[in-house]
Amino acid sequence: MSSTRVEHDSMGELNVPSDALYAAQTQRAVENFPISGQPMPEPFIRALILVKAAAAAANIELDQINPVIGDAIIHVAHNLLAKPDLMHHFPVDIYQTGSGTSTNMNANEVIATLASLQAGCEVNPNDHVNAGQSSNDVIPTAIHVSAALEISNHLLPALEHLSQVIKMKASQVDHYVKTGRTHLMDAMPIRMSQSMSAWATQIDQNIDQISFLASGLTKLAQGGTAVGTGINAHPKFPEHFTTALSKETGLTFKPADNFFAAISSQDTAVAVSGQLKTLAVSILKIANDLRWMNSGPLAGLGEIELEALQPGSSIMPGKVNPVIPEAAAMVSAQVIGNDTTITIAG
């Protein structure tokens, strides 16, 4: 048996792995972009699949696709989201065509393959799964949806937990007084709880700012199709789409105020990234405070003792390092670097 099968697209024939759910356009992208070996982030792919499900629901309501086909698209989208090996079906490198068309077509092809089996008839990647859509609006929409979901479901709860834990610890050490410092030199005495109140306030301020900026992520480009004109989409598609997506996710999405702006720029994502950079600066500052106060213990400040989590040296017995603040500092550096990349991309 051959390990490949022949698929067709507008450019002709192409050999595709016989067990792949995707088709020719995905395979072309796999061959064109063997750059990093890093696929698109899983939260982005999950958001993209949700977009396809919501689009199918909107198109059913607006009589744009056969309900049997539309229901099959929705069914397989939900099944895909439940698969532990989801990313196996989305191999396109993150460094690819600037529009993200390769990833959009990857999703269209995978869903069409599975939906054809589900519906018992041909489901076309372009005419059905991508009905009323373009990579021009799908990819900006998936950026917003994935970021909104990650912030709402993961980042903000984690930050709220961090703030609460800092405040709880501050109350436990309120009776301890330490040396306050400016320029790393001794200054006025300060309660340990007062130092920690600064950390908690930094986190709370980041929560407020991230929440405010993230609200802009709920305004979506979907419905603008090619360059914002809305061509080939039903006039009521944007409203039906955002209603369906809101039901799928539990967040309240709505169409962008101006599709031309939503498609031709990523200012909202850049702004959110800027606030994530600010959060990274706050985390880095707190991590460095902890490292200074924990330094020593004999020849450093030795004001606090962080929990010993693992041996700190392969040659010096008994040495223990502040590994959690160090790891947090590394993550902060990555987020700060990401913001530069996102700024240039925007």
Cβ-based neighbours of 143, under 8 Å, separated by 6 or more: 44, 266, 269
Pairing mode, if any, of strands 177-182 and 185-191? antiparallel
Q: What is d(CA 332, CA 202) in angstroms, rounded to the nearest whole number?
A: 15
Let me know if 313 is a catalytic residue: yes
Which amino acid type is present at position 295?
S
Name the token pair of 311.
Answer: 């041996």
What is the residue-wise DSSP string for 23-46? Answer: -HHHHHHHHH--SSS-B--HHHHH
Peptide bond into 297 cis (omega under 30): yes
Q: What is d(CA 132, CA 64) in angstroms, rounded to the nearest whole number?
A: 8
Q: What is d(CA 248, CA 176) in angstroms, rounded to the nearest whole number?
A: 50
> Of 273, 313, 314, 332, which residue is the catalytic one?
313
> Of 134, 183, 197, 211, which residue is the catalytic one?
183
Let me know if 197 is a catalytic residue: no
Give catalytic residues, as residue numbers.
Answer: 183, 313
